[in-house]
Amino acid sequence: MTFRPWRIVTWQYKLLYIVVAAFFWLGLVSSVSLLKPTVILLDVLALVVFAFVYFWAVRTFRGTNEDYFAPRAWWRMTAKPTLSRSLGVIAAVLGVLAALGLLGGLLGLTTLSDPVGQVLVVAACAALAYLYLTSARRLVRETD
């Protein structure tokens, strides 16, 4: 008997994974929020579940040019450097916008209802930007 790892190659199944994962994430967070936990606990739970679902996708989504059975390198986030670069820039822009919102809230320019959640969003966006941009740089070097 051979082990066949679970991989998602076609864009239709990748989209289906994202939709199902989003409903799972929202359902779990909404269910836990009915128990009325502290805001910080709910923020941390939401981030942990999101990170698990997100990085499971990174490990299982494969490009058509990638080996189906081989494990993906730890630093590799996508199959193509341009996609990694684009997603890294998007994560960086979202992180900067979240940081500006946090700064505006701390300065009293806007209302800030959940500062811990805002800090977690900034940290998550910064981590994703770093990971995607590192992946893009290493993928370019790998293809040279």
The rounded radius of gyration (Å) of the Cα atoms in the chain is 18
- Region of 115 (left: φ > 0; alpha: ψ -120 to 50; beta: rest) is alpha
Same domain? 60 vs 119:
no
Of 72, 96, 111, which marks where a domain is finished?
72
pLDDT tens digits, one per residue of 109-139 = 988 888 898 999 999 999 999 999 999 999 9
Type of residue found at 9: V
Instruction: Choose among 85, 98, 89, 102: nearest CA to 124.
Output: 98
pTM: 0.84
Of 48, 72, 96, which marks where a domain is finished?
72
Report CA-CA distances (Å) from 38 to 28, 32, 87, 90, 140.
16, 11, 32, 30, 44
pLDDT tens digits, one per residue of 106-117 = 998 988 888 898
Same domain? 111 vs 87:
yes
Domain housing 19: 1-72
Query: How deeply is 132 buried, as exposed, middle or buried, from its count of CB atoms within 10 A (0-12, 13-18, 19+)?
Result: buried
The total domain count for the chain is 2
Same domain? 12 vs 61:
yes
